Structure formats: structure tokens, C-alpha cells
Amino acid sequence: MSFILLGILNSQVAGAGVAGVAGYVAGGQNSGGFLDTVDKFAFPGDSRTTLATGLSTAREGHAGFSNVNVAGYAAGGSESSSKTNTVDKFAFPGDSRTTLGTGLSNTVGGVTGFSNAAVAGYAAGGRDASAVSTVDKFAFPGDSRTTLATGLSTARDFGAGFEDKAVAGYYAGGFAGSLVSTVDKFAFPGDSRTTLGTGLSSAKNVIGGFSDPAVAGYVAGGGFLDTVDKFAFPSDSRTTLATGLSSSRRTTGFANPAVAGYAAGGQTSSTYVSTVDKFAFPSDSRSTLATGLSISRRTTGFQNA
């Protein structure tokens, strides 16, 4: 999920390209109900502002994905009394919001997003009366929607999405009647699906995903755990970071490529939190931002990067 404004140039590790402009955390849920708030963290200082215009409806469990330098998207989700197929689009750099004429093919919550840079955004899985395996693809820049002939390997919701730009998108974990550790991989540009031989270190859902393109993808927290799994590109071999999240929780992710990945907000076993943990690339050392989310909540992230 991804964003860039004026192009902050940075010396990079191999394949990373240009560093990002901002990460976004949109909507969510806490003990007070559903939220429409969108927080924006400006890179590289991580200063936080809150957009004047939030989501078109208060909701959680929506997919986040991005068209770098162009727009970020919030797709589907659960509202106070129903699910929705609405896709909101936030145009960069002004962050003005419109709603796509064509939404998701299903009315679902617990949807997971990933992106192929400036080519397409994907909204995968989710649940209404039951879980679905559907993967919708929105082609940039026109945002026309198709549905992949091959969906997820199992119908499930609330997984983690991450991507290796121009190479593949990944859907990790989720809930399919029981928690799963499966990681599906969709190869770009044909979108053919395989399933990794090594999945997550534990079966879980409501997980944060973020990536350092050409280097590794990360799956953080979920299922009230603090674990952060790392999948090295291109082999997809998995290790688990020695330092996990600052608290065991369900969370969301966004990234500033070649610089850092973020695990934002979430839900512990007893409360909702506003904490934002930052993992510096390539060392994966963890710090916690002095300024967290504007509201404690379980939420969805994406970035312009």
C-alpha cells in the first residue's frame, strides 16, 4: 500500500528507487465505534497531520492500496450495520477524496490490499455472510476493475498484504473458519498465483504488512502477538525479527521504501492503542514514534511511496 509528493531523493539500497513522501492510516474501529479519520505521516520526519476530509463513511477492515504519486485507495470494509463495496480515492498531493463509480465486486469487510506500483491495485478476500477468495484488480490510471480468474488459495479475511514492486504481491495469513499461516504470491504482470512453501511463523489474522522493495516483505503482529516475520526477496525465505512490536497486538502497516516500515495502532487483548512502531531498514531496529495516531484504533494503512 504506497505514496510520493515532490520526490524526496535518497541514497538507496539496491532496487529501492526513490524514498516516499507520506504514510496514511485511514478509518478503523475502537471502543467508541467506527471511524472515518485519516492520519498522514510525512516522511522523513514522521510528523502527523489529520486530513480535513476523511473516508466517505466510518468503517474498518477495508483494503488499502496506492498508485505511486497519483492516489491512495480505501476499498470495502465494515460499517456500523453493514458491509460496503465502496472504494474511496485520495488524490496526491492535495489528498482530495472522490469515490469510484465502480466499487468492489463483493460487499465485504476484512479486505486486504496490495499494489503493483503504477500498474494496478488489488483488493483480496474478505467476508460478508461468509469468507470469499475473490481478488479484484483496479488498473491504473483509469481505475477500471476486473476480477482475477484465480483468487486466493482459500477463502479468508483479515490477512496482511505486501508487495515487491513490479515482481509480485503477497497475501499472508487470515481467518478461514480457523486462523491460517498460508502466504499466497501473485506474480506480476500475469497475476498467476502460487503458495509459498513456508508460511507465517504462526497462524493469525488482523496483521500489518509492509515492504522494502527488492529486499523483503514484513508481516507484523496480528492475533494479539508481537511477532514480525520477514520474507527475503526474491527467495521468499522467512526469518523472524529478534525484536518484535512494542506490544502484542493486531495492527496495520505502511512503509517508506529503503528507509523504514511502520506498524500503526491496533488492538491488544484488552484495549485499542495509538502506538506507531518504526522498523529502520536494513537493520530492522525498532523505535516508537513520539507522536502516535490521533485516535487509538484498529485501522488500515497505505502509503505514497
Residue 9 pLDDT > 50: no
C-alpha span between 232 and 224 (Å, rounded): 24
Q: How confident is the model at residue 19 (pLDDT cuts 50, 70, 90)?
A: confident
Whether 11 maps to a domain, the answer reads no
Q: Which residues contact 290 (CB under 8 A, 6 or more apart)?
A: none
C-alpha span between 124 and 155 (Å, rounded): 10
Residue 16 pLDDT > 60: no
Predicted pLDDT of residue 7: 30
For the segment 54-67, what is each residue's pLDDT rounded down to a tens digit?
A: 999 999 999 999 99
Whether 12 maps to a domain, the answer reads no
- Cα dihedral angle (241, 247, 253, 255), rounded to 10 degrees? -60
Helix and strand totals (H; E) in the chain: 0, 24
Whether 262 maps to a domain, the answer reads yes
Give the rounded percent of residues in the chain with a pLDDT score beyond 90: 92
- pTM assigned to the model: 0.93
Give the rounded percent of residues in the chain with a pLDDT score beyond 70: 94
Q: How confident is the model at residue 18 (pLDDT cuts 50, 70, 90)?
A: low
Whether 8 maps to a domain, the answer reads no
Domain with residue 205: its CATH number is: 2.120.10.80
Whether 1 maps to a domain, the answer reads no
Residue 254 pLDDT > 50: yes
Whether 61 maps to a domain, the answer reads yes
Whether 13 maps to a domain, the answer reads no
DSSP 224: T
For residue 110, give its domain range.
22-304
Domain count, the chain: 1
For the segment 184-201, what is each residue's pLDDT rounded down to a tens digit?
A: 999 999 999 999 999 999
SS3 of 201-223: the string is CCCCCCCEEEEECCCEEEEECCC
Rounded to an integer, the average pLDDT of 242-260 is 97
For the segment 145-178, what is each residue's pLDDT rounded down to a tens digit?
A: 999 999 999 999 999 999 999 999 999 999 999 9
C-alpha span between 302 and 285 (Å, rounded): 21
Task: Output the nine-digit C-alpha cell for 52.
Answer: 480535513
- Nearest alpha-carbon partner for 167 in 116, 231, 219, 114: 116
Q: How confident is the model at residue 3 (pLDDT cuts 50, 70, 90)?
A: very low
Whether 152 maps to a domain, the answer reads yes
